[in-house]
Structure 1
């Protein structure tokens, strides 16, 4: 929908860090209010640890540690997963008619090809002969050119 510049602040009065970030505004139902990507983390010079839900960054008064909330994190992840799943299902449903049409078209093409290939595809040229590979199994033969010498 557009872009907006916003001052983002981490910390409190004693120890804080402020950076002006450019956000892309989208029309999307999401459990997140804002997403900070690599450019934002780089601007804050932040280091993250997702397992501990912690982010550290330098400030003029020493390192600042931002601590996440496990309960909120799990709820948000679950809501985001449900949203993503519903969006994916909606997109897949839109593609069903195309997939059905392609399948029907390919089956019709295969039927036409099979009709054309009803006879043997390989027709030996004149001057060939069948050689029995094993006298115990006379049905096992190989076709070779009759103009070949014995070697």
Structure 2
């Protein structure tokens, strides 16, 4: 689960073994951000799936909407804020526990530190490998350097800049610390 994610993501590598036909996907025209810095990703589509926490004696099931993506990931799915809200789940990152309230008692979902470390390590290796490999040109048609040049335009593709940006200084004592901000953001 990722409390920082604004959506639920399901990898196509997970969808296919579930034997769910791709015709079940609803088209999506909106991209999402955060997979590769300064680029947006377009999902293959959306799908509603039932998700259950608990066991036969005490469970909770809800229907969640997932964005189905066709790029590598080390997880089967990412459950984000919409999942937390729907299940009214409370995470505790320190103890690797997720608590879901249910009329028959609290449902606790957890993991081990070694499993969490292995997942984080695999995710890091995947992201590093993707950035430095030939797979990135496939996703974005052009490989980005390890440290992007924010003055260079990026080619339009499945991953493309969301809009024109400008550099804004974030630390007056260190003018090299900059952040890119969209120039077409509303004042709100």
TM-score scaled by structure 2? 0.48
Deviation sequence 1:14-69 (CA, Å, 0-9, x none): 11111100111111221100101011111100000111010001112121111112
Query: Does structure 1 conserve the Cα–Cα contact (< 8 Å) formed by 2:131 and 2:144?
Result: no
Deviation sequence 1:80-99 (CA, Å, 0-9, x none): 01111122334598246x97
Evaluate the alpha carbon distance shift between residue 45 and residue 89 of structure 1 in structure 2; reply closer, same or farther with a 3 A threshold: same
- Give yes or no for the alignment of 1:20 onto 2:63: yes
Moved over 6 A (4+): none
Q: Which has the higher helix share?
A: 1
The alignment of Structure 1 onto Structure 2 pairs a total of residues equal to: 99
RCO comparison, higher one (Cα < 8 Å, 6+):
2
Unmatched 5+ stretches in structure 1: 103-151
CA RMSD of aligned residues (A): 2.4
TM-score scaled by structure 1? 0.59
Evaluate the alpha carbon distance shift between residue 5 and residue 78 of structure 1 in structure 2; reply closer, same or farther with a 3 A threshold: same
Match of 1:73 among 85, 107, 116: 116
Unmatched 5+ stretches in structure 2: 1-43, 153-188
